[in-house]
Structure 1
Amino acid sequence: MTNLILVILCLIIGILLQRVKELPDNAPKSLNTYLIYIVLPALALLHIPETELSIGLLLPVLTAWISFGLSWMIFGTVGKKLGWSKTTTGCLIIVPGLANTSFIGFPIIEALYGAEGLKIALLVDQAGSFIIVSSIAIIVASIYGDGKKRKRDITRKILTFPPFLFFLIAIAMNLGQVSLTGIPHEILAAFASTLTPIALIAVGLQVKINAQTLSSRNLWYGLGYKLFFIPVLIFLVYRWIFSPEDILYKVSVMETAMAPMITGSIIAINHDLNPKLASLLVGIGIPLSFVTLIGWYYLVG
């Protein structure tokens, strides 16, 4: 419950800070730069080396890949037909395509399904969402960003993206059964703990809720996909694979039903993929998801 209160509080703080005239206009971008270069690498080194990889957990992990793949296919196609700008299309592929499987997902899953559910959620996040946001999301951002990008430039961008580099290091540590302890572990944990408040304050700084923003069709296309379409798909398809009482089934559906991923919005904003829409998808999607998740919980039991 503390984590959920923190999420809402940080969003409100960010929105209120918009009234502080002394705050520079580039404050959100500066905060996002800190998150990308410091906090996300710290998260990779902190969690991935300790994650137990298991073939039996492949199907829950696949939900993240299914969600992003369908998002790219659907919004990429619809964007062309409706004449959306490339930046809007890219934003709608990345932000609704990724679920907030950690900052919101972890505390909710732990509260509902205990330590066993949390282990599944951790793998969904690290082997699914984190890999996607560290690699494929960068490819999408490069393709749909303003200006022409050569394949060589896109490859270089991925290989020099700090979270992806540290993800590779963390995977090597996992395979070599190397993990950090003592002071290094504590330092990484300290940096990692700043992710939720800093990221959500940065989002709140850019959220401007009014009648005009709430009437945006693109906003509701994205939230409709994230909070309704994809959870319904996983709910129906995975019932053919798992027993409805299986915790793997329950966590798969609930993690898919989480709000849009904060890190995905950071990637979109940093690549100028309709930053206003990216902020709204997270700023409105998070509180709205608290309502929709109640419905999904009663459906999966």
Structure 2
Amino acid sequence: MDSFNSQFLYSVLIIALGYILKRTNLIKEQDGEGLARIIFNLTLPSLLIVTFHDIEIDSSLILLIVIAIVYGLIQAALGLFLFKNEEKRTKGMLSMMAPGFNIGLFAFPLVEAIWGKEGLKYFGMFDFGNALIVFGVIYVIGSIYSDAGERKDLKHVVGKVTKSVPLITYVTVCTLNFTGVTIPSVILQVSETISVANMPLSLLLLGIYLNFSFAKGSSRQIIKLLSLRYVVGLGIGILLFMFLPFESMFKYTVLIALILPMSASVLPYAVEFDYDRKFVGTVSNITIIVSFFLLWGVGTLLI
């Protein structure tokens, strides 16, 4: 438990450092865009290579992918139903924010610090299914209800998915693993060196993007959206934790994954589809704060 609390304290300090650097103008929020590209296209893929090159895939890990996809579809459907009486564009924006989780930037640094490669293995498999929701379902919802330009066809959506470097890395490394192809040691060694930077950079980025300037006049929508994400997520997570007949790490993964923050990809989608990016950014920040304290609470009780 002391180790768990210590890791959370270290994470809070690194996030706070990123926020202080932004507030003192030593780093600007715009600099976060370049840092995010480095994380998503370099340090995170490197971490995935190191974690998954020799992983033994069993049925429980495959089930994590299924859970992530099914839960994402359920949340998308609930979002469309809950916000059905909202104006068309508002309905699309809110429904787009209901499914999907920020696993790469938010969960991976904490999981790596607390459980190491074993934890990353489980959360990585969940993130595989989550990526299909984020780059497929969420993008489609945002596109359908947007008035910004022409709606994107299936070809465009598929193209968006296939350009995700983390998703490509998942598929490539797992395929090589299944077929028994060994990744050259030099690639593994370079990847391991680069992957060390993923945790501190990701936490710094969360601090850089943290913003306490919340939009006014939209508290009702925010409360409904947060209730959908956290009440449903925590409820289903607890049920699965209690009744799934798998090892503790599997149960921790499901319970924690379902209360993670909103996907980081939603904000770029809001820009692309001309939604209210300030509102989306506000809710994204709130979910980071809520999830952080929820995870600390869950961890304190269970670990």
Residue 96 of structure 1 deviates from its aligned partner by 7.5
Query: Does 1:46 pair with 2:43?
Result: no
Q: Which amino acid aligns with 1:158?
A: V
Matches within 5 A, 1:142-291: 142-143=139-140, 144=142, 147=148, 148-180=151-183, 182-209=185-212, 216-237=219-240, 239-242=242-245, 247=248, 250-256=251-257, 258-260=259-261, 264-265=263-264, 267-272=265-270, 274=277, 275-277=280-282, 279-291=284-296
**Within 2, Cα distance between the matches of 1:46 and 1:169?**
13
Query: When the two structures are aligned, how many residues end up with a matched partner?
Result: 284
**Within 2, Cα distance between the matches of 1:220 and 1:20?**
32
Q: Which amino acid aligns with 1:35?
A: I
Structure 2 gaps, min length 5: 272-276
Residue 51 of structure 1 deviates from its aligned partner by 1.7
User: CA, structure 1 residues 247+160, in 2 after alignment: closer, same or farther (shift >3 Å)?
Assistant: closer
| Matched-pair contact (CA < 8 Å) for 1:98–1:260 | no
**Within 1, Cα distance between the matches of 2:164 and 2:38?**
13
Percent of paired sites with the same residue: 13
TM-score (norm. length: structure 2): 0.76
RMSD between aligned residues: 3.5
Q: Which amino acid aligns with 1:138?
A: F
**Within 2, Cα distance between the matches of 1:287 and 1:250?**
18
Structure 1 gaps, min length 5: none
User: CA, structure 1 residues 186+122, in 2 after alignment: closer, same or farther (shift >3 Å)?
Assistant: same
User: CA, structure 1 residues 177+64, in 2 after alignment: closer, same or farther (shift >3 Å)?
Assistant: same
- 1:138 is aligned, of 114, 135, 140, to 135
1:202-228 Cα offsets, whole Å, 9 max, x none, are: 232232225767984455445444444
**Within 1, Cα distance between the matches of 2:102 and 2:41?**
23
**Within 1, Cα distance between the matches of 2:98 and 2:259?**
16
Q: Which amino acid aligns with 2:48?
A: A
1:242-265 Cα offsets, whole Å, 9 max, x none, are: 38xx5367435543455327xx32
**Within 1, Cα distance between the matches of 2:26 and 2:250?**
49
Residue 181 of structure 1 deviates from its aligned partner by 5.7
Matched with 1:6 is: 10
Matched with 1:69 is: 73
Q: Which amino acid aligns with 2:268?
A: N
Residue 29 of structure 1 deviates from its aligned partner by 1.8
1:24-79 Cα offsets, whole Å, 9 max, x none, are: 45222222222222223223322222221112444455443343222212123223
TM-score (norm. length: structure 1): 0.76
